[in-house]
């Protein structure tokens, strides 16, 4: 079994670190910063050998250069965005395979937040790293894509087994939950989840990972009826609060 920790960075980012105790391998997913991630690894006696990027935004790749300089790690990133990301050794696209910490992942192309956004789905381990496409009770803004694309992403992710753990790039859960209950005021599961998240954040806890099952039950974007409904939801969320 691998160990996965969240390293908080910037205002609300999470850098996910995957560690295999058997081999000693460590990978960092979407490192927004370098020193904080290197320090978190060193505190545990880990050395980062790989970086996995989901998209080009600086708050997901800002640590690449420094981590590579310090460790000589290999950096994997979306091929479509490789020219915008520092230090890329391997560009990957839909259907490519990536091995990290002894685990095999398949690459999914999930564009809309950025045009070349990808996810890493570790099927056997039951986990997926989705960057800024899917959030707990939310989804990414459509900076470089369309409602059609993001709706398709939500539908595709919803086909995964309900116990698959979803590792998102930001601690947006509480804000998303407060919005979601305005959209689905009669969703009792959602209301209960809001209460749980409020308590977790009050206690200073990380609210992630979420799961596909939780999102099917409480994420308005994943529950959208069609593209038009999804677009309405996205517009409403963009103007909320």
Q: What is the model's pLDDT at position 123?
A: 98
For residue 169, give the nearest of 142, 130, 206, 207 by alpha carbon.
Answer: 130
Cβ-Cβ contacts under 8 Å for 35 (sequence gap 6 or more):
66
Indicate the pairing of strand 97-100 with strand 103-109.
antiparallel
pLDDT in tens, 2-46: 999 999 999 999 999 999 999 999 999 999 999 999 999 999 999
| Catalytic entry in 132, 163, 203, 229 | 132
| Catalytic entry in 30, 57, 96, 117 | 57
Q: How confident is the model at residue 173 (pLDDT cuts 50, 70, 90)?
A: very high
Higher pLDDT among residues 154 and 1, named by residue? 154
Using an 8 Å Cβ cutoff, are 55 and 117 in contact? yes
Tokens of 44: 């545990």
Spatial separation of the C-alpha atoms in residues 192 and 87, rounded to whole Å: 44
- The CA-based angle 29-35-33, given to 5 degrees, is 45
Tokens of 216: 């099917």
Give, as one character, the DSSP assignment of residue 83.
G
Mean pLDDT computed over 183-212: 98
Q: How confident is the model at residue 49 (pLDDT cuts 50, 70, 90)?
A: very high
Residue 241 pLDDT exceeds 80: no
Residues 152, 18, 63, 153, Cα dihedral to 10°: 0
Q: How confident is the model at residue 237 (pLDDT cuts 50, 70, 90)?
A: very high
- Cα 216 from chain centre: 17
Active site (annotated) includes residue 229: no
Counting residues of the chain whose pLDDT is more than 70, the rounded percentage is 100
Active site (annotated) includes residue 117: no
pLDDT averaged over the chain?
98
CATH match for 3-106+113-238 among 3.30.43.10, 3.60.15.10, 3.10.150.10, 3.40.47.10 = 3.60.15.10
Active site (annotated) includes residue 96: no
Active site (annotated) includes residue 60: yes
- Cα 20 from chain centre: 20
Active site (annotated) includes residue 57: yes
| Catalytic entry in 113, 163, 186, 238 | 113
| Catalytic entry in 19, 30, 55, 117 | 55
The enclosing H or E element of 81 equals: none
pLDDT in tens, 73-132: 999 999 999 999 999 999 999 999 999 999 999 999 999 999 999 999 999 999 999 999
Q: Which CA distances in Å does 137 have to 16, 99, 189, 197, 210?
A: 19, 29, 12, 11, 9
Q: What is the model's pLDDT at position 121?
A: 99
| Catalytic entry in 20, 30, 60, 96 | 60
| Catalytic entry in 19, 20, 34, 170 | 170
Q: Looking at the whole model, is its pTM more than 0.85? A: yes
């Amino acid at each position: 079994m691998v160990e996965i920790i969240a390293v908080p960075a910037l205002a609300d980012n999470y850098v996910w670190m995957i560690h295999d105790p058997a081999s000693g391998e460590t990978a960092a997913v979407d490192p927004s910063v370098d020193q904080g991630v290197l320090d978190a690894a060193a505190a545990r006696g880990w050395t980062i050998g790989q970086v996995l990027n989901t998209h080009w935004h600086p708050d997901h790749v800002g640590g690449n250069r420094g981590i590579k300089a310090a460790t000589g790690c290999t950096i994997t990133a979306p091929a479509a965005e490789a020219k915008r990301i520092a230090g890329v050794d391997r560009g990957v696209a839909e259907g490519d395979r990536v091995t990290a910490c002894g685990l095999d992942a398949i690459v999914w192309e999930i564009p809309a937040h950025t045009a070349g956004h990808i996810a890493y789905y570790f099927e056997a381990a039951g986990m997926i790293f989705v960057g800024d496409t899917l959030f707990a009770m939310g989804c990414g803004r459509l900076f470089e894509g369309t409602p059609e694309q993001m709706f398709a992403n939500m539908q595709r992710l919803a086909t995964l087994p309900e116990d698959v753990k979803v590792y998102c790039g930001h601690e947006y859960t509480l804000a998303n939950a407060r919005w979601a209950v305005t959209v689905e005021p009669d969703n009792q599961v959602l209301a209960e989840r809001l209460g749980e998240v409020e308590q977790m954040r009050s206690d200073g806890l990380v609210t992630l990972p979420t799961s596909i099952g939780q999102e099917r039950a409480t994420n308005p974007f994943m529950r959208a009826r069609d593209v038009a409904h999804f677009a309405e939801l996205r517009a409403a969320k963009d103007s909320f609060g």
